[in-house]
Amino acid sequence: MFTDYVKIIVKSGDGGNGAVSFRREKYVAAGGPDGGDGGKGGDVYFTVDPDANTLINFRYMKKYKAEDGKKGEGNHRYGKSADDLYIKVPLGTIIKDAETGSVIADLSEKGQTEKIFPGGRGGKGNSHFATSTRQAPRFSQDGEKGIEKELILELKLLADVGLIGFPNVGKSTFLSVVTSATPKIADYHFTTLEPNLGVVRSEYGDSFVIADIPGIIEGASEGTGLGIQFLRHIERTRLLLHFIDVSGSEGREPVQDFKTINEELKNYSEKLSKRKQIIVANKIDSMQDEKLLKDLEKVAKKNKMEIFKISAATGEGISELIKHVSDVLKQLPKEDLIEIQDKKVYTLDESDNYTITKEDDMWLLDGPAIQKIMRRVNLDDNESMHYFQKCFKQLGVNEKLKQAGVQEGDTVKVVDWELEWYD
């Protein structure tokens, strides 16, 4: 089964918590704090798998999580950092943020590996919080949480040439003639259900890859049928061969077919509609009305496009077409066909932002800066509470709460902890 679009949930590892520990040795009356730091959580990477050609495995495994870092221990022993997670995808995979649609990575090169999410840093042990006035801190820092997101994986085939056109116009037959690909061929009036790839080797030793893109129908750019899934694959190609049936055997109008397909390309992507295109008038061996071909030639001239007359069934005109395609590809630049604007890079939040809101009779205090402080405190320990109050004062939280109207005895919910305000 060919699968080219999936959604998965990915999470980087949490950092390990720092340890609360005190030195305990014979002949040492009052050993100081010796809690070690927690280990770093695992990063998440996506890497190209040269042996994969579909996203089928992701249909059965939807969640991927890197390991968490280990907790710190006494005697200044650091927790072990977790191994990074490497997720293998086929060449040509685009990774997007499911919520925003932003492109995170484009894995279109062999051997390419991209770091997507960093793992959480390990928390500091209590030895870091000792001061001249706080010699026995009974609190440590929790490890930072990793990043969890729903991602979209899209596989866009990597080919030099894309075959486009309505169903049953001869694309699959052509591919089977010029390559060793073996697509299903019959007089179908519906579209091929999955793309096919083949390598063409010209008589001069040149080679290039052709993708038989399943038949595009009217409304494809709006999702009719499997349109958008198929249009996705054309984005990677440098040259389009637009197959049109000029035999008249099925009552088709070649000129109208040309206009319909190009309208769908334009609706899907303005850039795609301007891709280099060659018209291939197929089935000339069974042509019933020469006017159909002449009208198409006029359209080709008007749009300044080349037109080749062939018969995929008999082989007529194919060698001339292949030679011309090979020559054109030598002149076309190998540009980045997928534009990534403002690539999203995920980092652990270190901002000093926080919010103060009120719901009913309760004040709500939250945000990255507050969460960072709360990972360091133990509310059951007096020294830790002093540290907590000091951090809030330095951050300006107390003053902002007063300005917002907090009163003595009010309940203030700090992340997940409910505390009573006093001045």
Q: Which residue has the tokens 């004040």?
A: 363
Token pair recorded at residue 87: 């997720």
Residue pLDDT, tens place only, 92-117: 888 999 988 888 888 888 899 999 99
* CATH 2.70.210.12 corresponds to the domain 1-155: yes
pTM of the model: 0.66
CATH 3.30.300.350 in the chain: give the residue spans.
Answer: 355-420
Max mean pLDDT range (57-66, 226-235, 268-277): 57-66
Residue pLDDT, tens place only, 41-56: 999 999 999 888 778 8
What confidence tier does 87 reach under pLDDT thresholds 50, 70, 90?
very high
CATH 2.70.210.12 in the chain: give the residue spans.
Answer: 1-155
CATH code assigned to 355-420: 3.30.300.350
Give bridge partners of residue 7 from the DSSP assignment: 152
Residue pLDDT, tens place only, 304-351: 999 999 999 899 999 999 999 999 988 887 655 555 555 666 777 666
Q: Rounded to 5, what percent of the chain is helix, strand, coil?
A: 25, 25, 50
CATH code assigned to 173-331: 3.40.50.300
The residues, any chain, with a CB within 8 Å of residue 231's CB and separated by 6 or more, are 216, 220, 221, 264, 265, 268, 269, 272
pLDDT, mean of residues 265-290:
88
The arrangement of strands across the sheet holding 411-414 comes to 355-359, 362-366, 411-414, 417-420
